[in-house]
Amino acid sequence: MAAASFTSLASQLSSSSSSSQYLRRPRFVDQIDSINLLRLSSSTSRRGGYISRNRLVVSAASGSSGKFFVGGNWKCNGTTASISKLVSDLNDAKMEADVDVVVAPPFVYIDQVKKTLTDRVEISSQNSWVGKGGAFTGEISVEQLKDVGCTWVILGHSERRHVIGEDDQFIGKKAAYALTENLKVIACIGERLEEREAGKTFDVCFQQLKAYADNVPSWDNIVVAYEPVWAIGTGKVATPEQAQEVHVAVRDWLKKNVSVEVASKTRIIYGGSVNGSNCAELAKQEDIDGFLVGGASLKGPEFATIVNSVTLKKVAA
């Protein structure tokens, strides 16, 4: 297959916000003026088939053969009353049929949501323990999650990695245990701003992918979520071309390091300030197979708009 060159992540930054805005990074680092995103140097040195400074050359790839996937991560938000309203809005929303839709409420509201939300939407946990339950204060076991109706779990989210301190291998082992117990996994990967500026986007993402690959028994029930940390909750979003570039690289890594079949079947979704306004252009990209949505998933009508962006995927195809 002919090699295709893709433009650098570093060279394409969203112009949706003025340079005077501040890019809010996660709380473990200081605020930084978003104009610093433009101070990305370039290099032409090659390493292992990939060009450094976030520019790469990979085999031409195509999107997943699986169904479009949209997950809503509610994080540590909500009350009994607000979640009741959100569930009501989701129940009333018209959502395209050919999309897998999943929401991840806070642990204490999973049972409430399961009992009141339409069966059209599956329930995910935001985390799970690395093994069977027992004397692990504050943890939630896979068995308990299944008992209350969860069919998915989000693992490897940047807030678990960089705030809580979970490392790649620990996350890989958690994914392996969940899959062994028939809980499907949304496996998150993504680089921090300083890693991106240093030209390490692909190194970081591939290292995180390898930790999953080294541990999981199968990729049949895994959705990979690429979430650049610099875009999560900041209002900054990767341009469609930036996101597509990383998704192509991830699919190519799976092809070379796992199998051609896994690369073809695995859905790779994008997360990072996805909303009702930017989802359409992102959905048109060939290797973006859906979204993992944060803040916008707390608004029923807007979340439905993101789900329905699958129609733009069909048009693009």
Scanning the chain, the segments in alpha helix (DSSP H) are 80-92, 110-116, 142-147, 158-159, 168-180, 193-197, 201-213, 240-257, 260-265, 279-283, 300-307, 310-316
Active-site residue numbers? 157, 227
How far is Cα 219 from Cα 222, in angstroms, rounded to an integer? 5
Tell me what pLDDT residue 197 has.
Answer: 86
Burial of 33 (0-12, 13-18, 19+ CB in 10 A): exposed
Residue 306 lies in a domain: yes
Residue 64 lies in a domain: no
Average pLDDT, the chain: 84
| Domains contained in the chain, number | 1
Task: Tell me the pLDDT tens digit for each residue of 80-125.
Answer: 999 999 999 999 999 999 999 999 999 999 999 999 999 999 999 9
Residue 25 lies in a domain: no
Residue 128 lies in a domain: yes
Tell me what pLDDT residue 314 has.
Answer: 72
Residue 153 lies in a domain: yes
**What confidence tier does 235 reach under pLDDT thresholds 50, 70, 90?**
confident
Domain that holds residue 117: 69-316
Residue 211 lies in a domain: yes
Tell me what pLDDT residue 233 has.
Answer: 82
Burial of 20 (0-12, 13-18, 19+ CB in 10 A): exposed
Tell me what pLDDT residue 101 has.
Answer: 98
Contacts of residue 81, defined as CB under 8 A and 6 or more positions apart, other chains included, come to none
What CATH number is given to the structural domain containing 228?
A: 3.20.20.70
Residue 55 lies in a domain: no
- Residue 26 pLDDT greater than 50, yes or no: no
- Residue 67 pLDDT greater than 60, yes or no: yes
Strands 222-226 and 267-270: parallel
Return the structure tokens found at 206: 């591939």
Residue 214 lies in a domain: yes
For residue 268, what are the CA distances in angstroms to 183, 265, 289? Answer: 18, 9, 5
| 267 and 251 Cβ atoms separated by less than 8 Å | no
